[in-house]
Amino acid sequence: MADSQYPYPPDRFDDEADAVTFHGAHRAELPFWRENLLYIIIIGAAVVLLVVLLFVIGGMGGGDDGAEGPASASESASSEAAPEESPSEEPAPEPDLSVPVQVINAGSINGLAGTWQEELQGEGWEDVSVATADSPQQEPVVFYRDEADADTAQALAEQVGAGEARQSDEYDSPLTFIAVTEPGDGGGEGGDGDQGDQGGEGGEGEG
């Protein structure tokens, strides 16, 4: 329809304009992001998922390193410290060869105590006396009176093949060796303490 204020008479163009429903209207173009919204959502979701996966995998790897790292370090430290911490065997204390030793012949062998006297003196014992037991014994044994002489007594016992040295106050000598066999015959391993105690102390000579 022609405008009422239009100063010119209508013509054929005005008739065509009246027949058209929409006048001078054009659909605006959609923005780029709206045209590709679906693709943008898919790509964004994929990126987010990838980041989450990388974070999870990295967290799992870090946990393993944290768990194994200190353990490995502690094991390594333990293995390195083990040789230093392990107690080394202390050498046996040196016997005091100046401690008096009395050898008692309890083997019913003439000259047995004197033979051992010469043997021990040859090994460096400085004060060795001899005596004879009232009755024979079956096993050799070494007695000591004072605890301070325990190591020296054990050294003597090992030297004469008498096993473990025993403490006793029956004898006056700091160390007493009850001999039953000659040197080199292989005395028994540590005789019974009661058997050794039965041997009475004789005089300063051999029967």
Give me the residue spans of the domains in the chain: 31-61, 101-198
Class of domain 101-198: alpha beta
User: Would the pLDDT of 159 be above 60?
Assistant: yes
**pLDDT tens-digit map of 167-195:** 999 999 999 999 999 988 764 433 333 33
SS (H, E, C) the chain: CCCCCCCCCCCHHHHHHHHCCCCCCCCCCCCHHHHCHHHHHHHHHHHHHHHHHHHHHHHHHHHHHHHHHHHHHHHHHHHHHHHHHCCCCCCCCCCCCCCCEEEEECCCCCCHHHHHHHHHHHCCCCCEEEEECCCCCCCCEEEECCHHHHHHHHHHHHHHCCCCCEECCCCCCCEEEEECCCCCCCCCCCCCHHHHHHCCCCCCCCC
**Residue-level pLDDT at 65:** 47
**pLDDT tens-digit map of 103-141:** 999 988 899 999 999 999 999 999 999 999 888 889 999
**Residue-level pLDDT at 194:** 39
